[in-house]
Amino acid sequence: MTDEEQSTPKISFAEAGEDGRLHAPSAERNVDAILQVLRAHAPSEGKALEIASGTGQHIVHFARQLPELDWQPSEVDPARIESIRIWREKAGLANLREPVTLDATHPGWSVRHGGQILIMLSNLMHLIDTSSAQTLISESAQALAPLGRLMIYGPFFRDGRATSDGDSRFHAKIVQEHPTFGYKNDADMLGWLRETGLHIVETLAMPANNLTFIAERPDDK
């Protein structure tokens, strides 16, 4: 990815509050639906890495509601790293670590962030290109501990097509601003996950036409 592509696309919207924290309306809308999936499918304890933690809203909520997981936020955007720091300080949660700078679309990061029982990301796949998406999945698979799970939430094509006019317009807007980005196809996602050796646990339909892919690293025994 180019330096321009590594910055947060303008289509990923967040507004600044008076205390320096960023607020993304989309994060407020989907956080409870994602939490329900985590309650049902996340391992009960261990290291949990969130890729592209954005404003910090999601991971604070998840860390508060799932205290047995040791949560690690990450981001590439310095402004969002700072927002996550402020959200973390305000929350005062013992199981929420300082954010780290991580571009999960670059190869090699799994060596530094191994042993994760959970890796999750929300609303990122449509904001990166296909090669970057494949690298992210491959590195995530390597960073998982045995029986660790990867959860990927966001908007996706089904059978190569958008499922609503709103999704079609959103995809077109993304591609107009970043021609190599855009919605990924559900079948491609499942193929990329399987190619890494992960087992598909479930693909869940989510509110607002989104999907959550859940995959697990097999036990090494």
Give the DSSP per-residue string, 154-174. Answer: EE-BBTTB-SSHHHHHHHHHH
Strands 116-122 and 144-155: parallel
**135-188 tens-digit pLDDT:** 999 999 999 999 999 999 999 999 999 999 999 999 999 999 999 999 999 999
Instruction: Note whether 198 and 140 are within 8 A (CB).
Output: no
Sign of the Cα pseudo-torsion (101, 104, 106, 111, in order): positive
Which tokens in the block code for residue 74?
A: 């990450």
Compute the distance between CA of residue 208 and CA of residue 30 in angstroms, rounded to an integer. Answer: 9
Residue 4 — pLDDT band, cuts 50, 70, 90? very low
Q: What is the pTM of this model?
A: 0.92
Residues 6+ apart with CB under 8 A from 40: none
Residues 6+ apart with CB under 8 A from 100: 72, 73, 74
Compute the distance between CA of residue 94 and CA of residue 193 in angstroms, rounded to an integer. Answer: 32
**35-64 tens-digit pLDDT:** 999 999 999 999 999 999 999 999 999 999
The number of residues in the chain equals 221
Compute the distance between CA of residue 166 and CA of residue 208 in angstroms, rounded to an integer. Answer: 10
Tell me the helices (H) and strands (E) count for the chain, helix number first.
7, 9
Q: Roughly what angle, to the nearest 10 degrees, separates helices 57-65 and 78-91?
A: 30
Q: What's the Cα-to-Cα distance from 119 to each of 4, 97, 114, 166, 187, rounded to whole Å? A: 26, 15, 10, 29, 21
pLDDT for 121 beyond 80: yes
Residue 19 — pLDDT band, cuts 50, 70, 90? confident
Residue 140's SS3 state is helix
